[in-house]
Chains A and B, each alone.
Chain A
Amino acid sequence: MKIFKTTLILLITFIFLSCTSSEECRENKDVLMQMGFYTKTLNTKTGLYVNTALAIDSLWVNGLGVDSFLFEKKKSIKSIDVPLKKLSTQTDFIVRFNQKTDTISVFYQNNDRYFISLECGCVIAHTIDEVTSTNHFIDSISVINRDIIPTDAEHIQIYHF
Chain B
Amino acid sequence: MLVCCVLPLNAQTKDTKTDSIPKVWYNGIRAEIDVAPIVSTFLSNSETFSYEGGVQADILHKYYPVVEIGFAGADRTTSTDIRFKTNGLFGRVGLDFNLMKPKAGAKPSNNVFLAGARIGFSSFNYSMTNIVITDDYWNERTILNYPNEAVIKVWFEVVAGMRVEVIKNIYMGWTIRNKHTLGQSMAGEMNPWYIPGFGKNLTGSNWGVNYSIGYKF
Q: A86 near B190 (CB under 8 angstroms)?
A: no
Q: How far is the CA of A120 from the CA of B189 in the complex (A)?
A: 14
Query: In the complex the two chains form, is B78's CB within 8 Å of A23's CB?
Result: yes
Residue of B nearest to A116 (CB): B188
Q: Which residues of A contact B138 (CB under 8 A)?
A: 63, 66, 83, 85-86, 91
| Chain B residues within 8 Å of A21, by CB | 200, 202
> Which B residues are CB-close (under 8 A) to A119?
78-80, 82
Known: A18-B43, A63-B137. A118 touches B142 (CB 8 A): no
Interface residue tally for chain B (C-beta within 8 Å): 40
Q: Give the contact stretch, choosing among B3-11, B65-73, B90-98, B127-135.
A: B127-135
CB of B170 within 8 Å of the partner chain? no
Q: Are A112 and B144 neighbours in the complex by a CB distance under 8 Å?
A: yes
Which B residues, 81 to 136, have Cβ-Cβ distances below 8 Å to chain A? Answer: 82, 84, 128, 131-133, 135
Interface SS, A side = mixed
- Mark contacts of B138-170 with chain A using CB atoms, 8 A cut-off: 1 yes-contact digit, 0 otherwise: 111010101000000000000000101000000
- Chain A min CB distance to B49 (Å): 13
* B80 and A11 contact, CB distance less than 8 A: no
Interface centre among B78, B79, B139, B146 (most CB of A within 10 A): B78
With A3-B162, A11-B211, A14-B209: A115-B190 Cβ-Cβ less than 8 Å? yes
- What is the bound-complex CA distance between A121 and B191, given in angstroms? 10
In the complex, chain B residues 167-217 whose Cβ is within 8 Å of any chain A Cβ: 172-174, 176, 187-191, 193, 200, 202, 207, 209, 211
- CA of A28 to CA of B4, assembled, Å: 69
Q: A83-B137, A83-B138, A115-B188 are in contact. Are A121 and B174 (CB under 8 A)?
A: no
Q: Nearest residue in A to B79 (C-beta to C-beta)?
A: A24
- B76 beta carbon closer than 8 Å to chain A: yes
How long is the Cα–Cα vector from A7 to B162 in the complex, in angstroms?
Answer: 10
B39 interface contact, C-beta 8 A? yes
Q: Decide if A86 touches B140 in the complex (CB within 8 Å).
A: yes
Q: Which residues of B contact A (CB under 8 A)?
A: 36, 39-40, 43-44, 76, 78-80, 82, 84, 128, 131-133, 135, 137-140, 142, 144, 146, 162, 164, 172-174, 176, 187-191, 193, 200, 202, 207, 209, 211
A-B contact pairs, 17 of them (CB 8 A): A3-B173, A7-B174, A14-B40, A14-B207, A18-B40, A21-B202, A66-B138, A85-B140, A87-B140, A115-B188, A115-B190, A118-B82, A118-B84, A119-B78, A121-B80, A122-B144, A124-B133
Known: A3-B173, A118-B82, A121-B144. 19 other contacts (CB 8 A): A7-B211, A11-B36, A23-B78, A25-B78, A25-B80, A83-B135, A83-B137, A85-B138, A86-B135, A86-B140, A112-B144, A115-B190, A118-B78, A118-B128, A118-B193, A119-B80, A121-B82, A121-B128, A149-B187
Interface residues of A (CB under 8 A from B): 3, 6-7, 10-11, 14-15, 17-19, 21, 23-25, 63, 66, 68, 70, 83, 85-87, 91, 112-116, 118-125, 149
